[in-house]
Structure 1
Amino acid sequence: MPMTLQVLYPVSDDTTFDDAYYQSSHMDLVSEHMGAHIQSQVVTKGLAGGPDTPPGFHAIATFVFADQAALDATLASAGPVLADLPNFTNVTPTMLIGQTYD
């Protein structure tokens, strides 16, 4: 069964997020260290939380994997990606691991 990993970067009054660095350098690290196991990915930049509402997240990255083994392999190789977080944000991201519905 396909598995997903979502990485959510919540907004609060004191959070910072360097979108340019994230798009270029950080996502290159994701591709280098985790890309072999990722079936597809999409990153959503937070623009709004609804009409006239600021976004609740700087960004949400969604990665899809063929199965649990591919997800496990990705998580095992994520060290350099996680170590890069302080280079673009002071947010501790929230992760959601799940299954997709067919």
Structure 2
Amino acid sequence: MAVSLQVLYPVGPETRFDYDYYAKTHMALVAEHMGPHAVSVQAVKGLAGGPDTPPEFYAVATMIFENQEKLQAASAAAGPVTADIPNYTNTKPQLLIGEVIG
């Protein structure tokens, strides 16, 4: 069964997020190190949390894997990806691993 890994970057009072670095440099690292194990990888920039409401997240990255073993292989290869996080944000990413149901 397919599984997903979502990485959510929450907005906070003293946090920062460099979208340009994230899109050009960090996502290239994701593609290089984790991408070979994934079915798909995408990142979304937060624009709003609803009508007239600022976003609660700077961005959300979603990676889909064929199965748990592929996710584990990607996680094992993710060292350079996680080490890069301080280069574009000081917020603490939240993770959600889930079963793809639709």
Tell me whether the two structures share a fold, i.e. TM-score over 0.5.
yes
- SS at the partner of 2:34? helix
Report how many aligned residue pairs link the two structures.
102
Residue 65 of structure 2 corresponds to residue 65 of structure 1:
yes
Instruction: Return the letter of the residue paired with 1:55.
Output: P
What is the CA–CA distance in structure 2 between the aligned matches of 1:98 and 1:67, rounded to whole Å? 11
Tell whether 2:90 aligns with 1:90: yes
Counterpart-to-counterpart distance in 1, 2:12 and 2:92: 11
State the 1:16 CA deviation.
Answer: 0.2
> Could you tell me how far 1:5 is from its partner in structure 2?
0.0
Specify the code of the residue in structure 2 equivalent to 1:66. Answer: E
Give the superposed CA RMSD: 0.7
* TM-score, normalised with respect to structure 2: 0.97
Cross-structure match for 1:47: 47
* C-alpha separation in 2, matches of 1:46 and 1:13: 16
C-alpha offsets along residues 22-56 of structure 1, whole Å, 9 cap, x if unaligned? Answer: 00000010011111001012211000000110000
Q: Percent identity?
A: 56
Contact 2:5/2:64 (<8 A) preserved? yes
| Alignment gaps of 5+ in structure 2 | none
Aligned match of 1:27:
27
User: d(CA) in 2 for partners of 1:46 and 1:14?
Assistant: 17
1:6 corresponds to: 6
Contact in 1 for aligned 2:35/2:41 (Cα 8 Å): no
Query: How big is the shift at 1:6?
Result: 0.1
State the match for 2:18 in structure 1: 18
Measure the CA separation in 2 of the matches of 1:16 and 1:75. Answer: 25
Q: How high is the TM-score relative to the length of structure 1?
A: 0.97
Aligned to 1:99: 99
| Structure 1 runs, 4 residues or longer, greater than 4 Å off | none
